[in-house]
């Protein structure tokens, strides 16, 4: 039986957050196996209709359509976001918040979809989003995806509010955090957004801004630790369905709406 995450972990950490409904048919397979099937799809990038359901389930297995149904239903109700924030809250003592790193990452969307435009550096259509991690490289939050023709600071004040709201939802205070960001974030808007949240912005100065005599705070030694976010991005890229949005149009549309619903919920 293929497993992406230990079934005991799924049972203890994820299943309790799955919404229960009194109407409709109840799942005939264990919820742990359904969640594992969804994680397998996201990890391998296999198309839904090629999901090896007989190898993913025990005595009673579901069709790939049923697994996708649960995935879509849980996305639309905001289950994944709620589960994420509750896990952050439960294990926040294990986070290293001595500093955090922020960066943007483009996801290729080869077959199109919502929030997708051509990105010259990638030479393909992409979706862009911001990611925040702790000092260990553990993901903390992400922004709402935007079309790939926008840079990382597009609508930055709104997007940064979404990122920090995830931490606040998880009862993680943002005041006093030291935040690393590259020169692409060296803008008045981003620094103002950090100041509003009482976050210490450790942003590399952009030489193209021309003003070399600014007294903005910058710690080079702290900034050199920023490599960890690139390692985290590489780990997320190992989930093939997240690295390349190859799936059919319906799935792409639903995933885009889910991300929007999750962020708007907060």
> How confident is the model over 82-94, as a mean pLDDT?
94
Angle among Cα 40, 41, 46 to the nearest 5 degrees reads 120
Straight-line distance from the first to the last Cα atom of the chain, in angstroms, rounded to the nearest whole number: 37
The lowest-confidence range among 16-20, 63-67, 85-89, 188-192 is: 16-20
Q: Per the confidence metrics, is the pTM higher than 0.85?
A: no
Determine the Cα–Cα distance for residues 80 and 45; give it in Å rounded to an integer. 19
| Residue given tokens 């579901």 in the structure block | 62
Query: How large is the angle between the packed helices 79-90 and 64-76, nearest 10 degrees?
Result: 70
Q: Which residues contact 235 (CB under 8 A, 6 or more apart)?
A: 137
Question: Rounded to an integer, what distance in angstroms lies between the CA atom of residue 129 and that of residue 107?
Answer: 8
Residue 251 has pLDDT above 70, yes or no: no
Q: In the chain, which segments carry CATH 3.30.420.10? A: 95-248
Domain 95-248, what architecture? Answer: 2-Layer Sandwich (3.30)
Kindly report, residue by residue over 203-246, the tens digit of the pLDDT: 998 887 766 667 788 889 999 888 889 888 888 888 877 766 54
C-alpha closest to that of 128 among 114, 116, 110: 116
* Residue 28 and residue 35 in contact, taking contact as beta carbons nearer than 8 Å: no
Please work out, in degrees rounded to the nearest 5, the angle formed at the alpha carbon of residue 195 by the alpha carbons of 99 and 227: 30
Give residue-wise pLDDT tens across range 126-178.
888 899 999 999 999 999 888 888 888 999 999 999 999 999 999 999 999 99
Report the SS3 class of residue 218.
coil
**pLDDT at site 213:** 66
Q: What is the pLDDT of residues 189-200, one digit of tens each?
A: 999 999 999 999
Mean pLDDT for 5-18 is: 92
The answer to whether residues 222 and 215 touch, using CB atoms and an 8 Å cutoff, is no
Q: Tokens 């943007």 label which residue?
A: 104
Q: Does residue 75 carry a pLDDT above 90?
A: no
Spatial distance between the Cα atoms of 164 and 117, rounded to a whole number of angstroms:
26
| pLDDT value of residue 211 | 67
| Range 100-113 average pLDDT | 83
Quote the pLDDT of residue 1: 61
């Amino acid at each position: 039986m293929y497993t992406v995450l230990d079934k005991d972990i799924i049972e203890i950490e994820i299943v309790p957050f799955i919404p229960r409904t009194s109407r409709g048919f109840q799942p005939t397979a264990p919820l742990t196996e359904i969640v594992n099937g969804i994680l397998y799809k996201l990890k391998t990038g296999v198309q839904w209709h090629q999901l090896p359901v007989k190898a993913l389930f025990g005595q009673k297995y579901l069709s790939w359509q049923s697994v996708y149904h649960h995935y879509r239903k849980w996305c639309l109700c905001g289950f994944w976001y709620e589960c994420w924030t509750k896990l952050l809250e439960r294990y926040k003592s294990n986070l290293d918040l001595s500093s955090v790193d922020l960066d943007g990452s483009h996801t290729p969307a080869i077959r199109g979809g919502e929030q997708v435009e051509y990105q010259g550096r990638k030479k393909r259509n992409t979706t862009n989003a911001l990611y925040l991690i702790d000092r260990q490289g553990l993901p903390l939050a992400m922004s709402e995806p935007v079309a790939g023709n926008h840079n990382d600071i597009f609508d930055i004040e709104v997007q940064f509010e979404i990122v920090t709201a995830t931490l606040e939802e998880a009862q993680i205070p943002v005041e006093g955090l030291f935040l690393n960001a590259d020169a692409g974030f060296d803008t008045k808007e981003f620094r103002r957004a950090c100041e509003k949240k009482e976050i210490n912005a450790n942003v590399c100065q952009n030489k193209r801004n021309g003003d070399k005599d600014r007294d903005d705070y910058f710690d080079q030694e702290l900034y050199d630790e920023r490599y960890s976010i690139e390692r985290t991005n590489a780990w997320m890229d190992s989930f093939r369905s997240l690295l390349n949005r190859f799936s059919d149009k319906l799935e792409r549309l639903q995933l885009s709406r889910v991300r929007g619903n999750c962020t708007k919920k907060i």
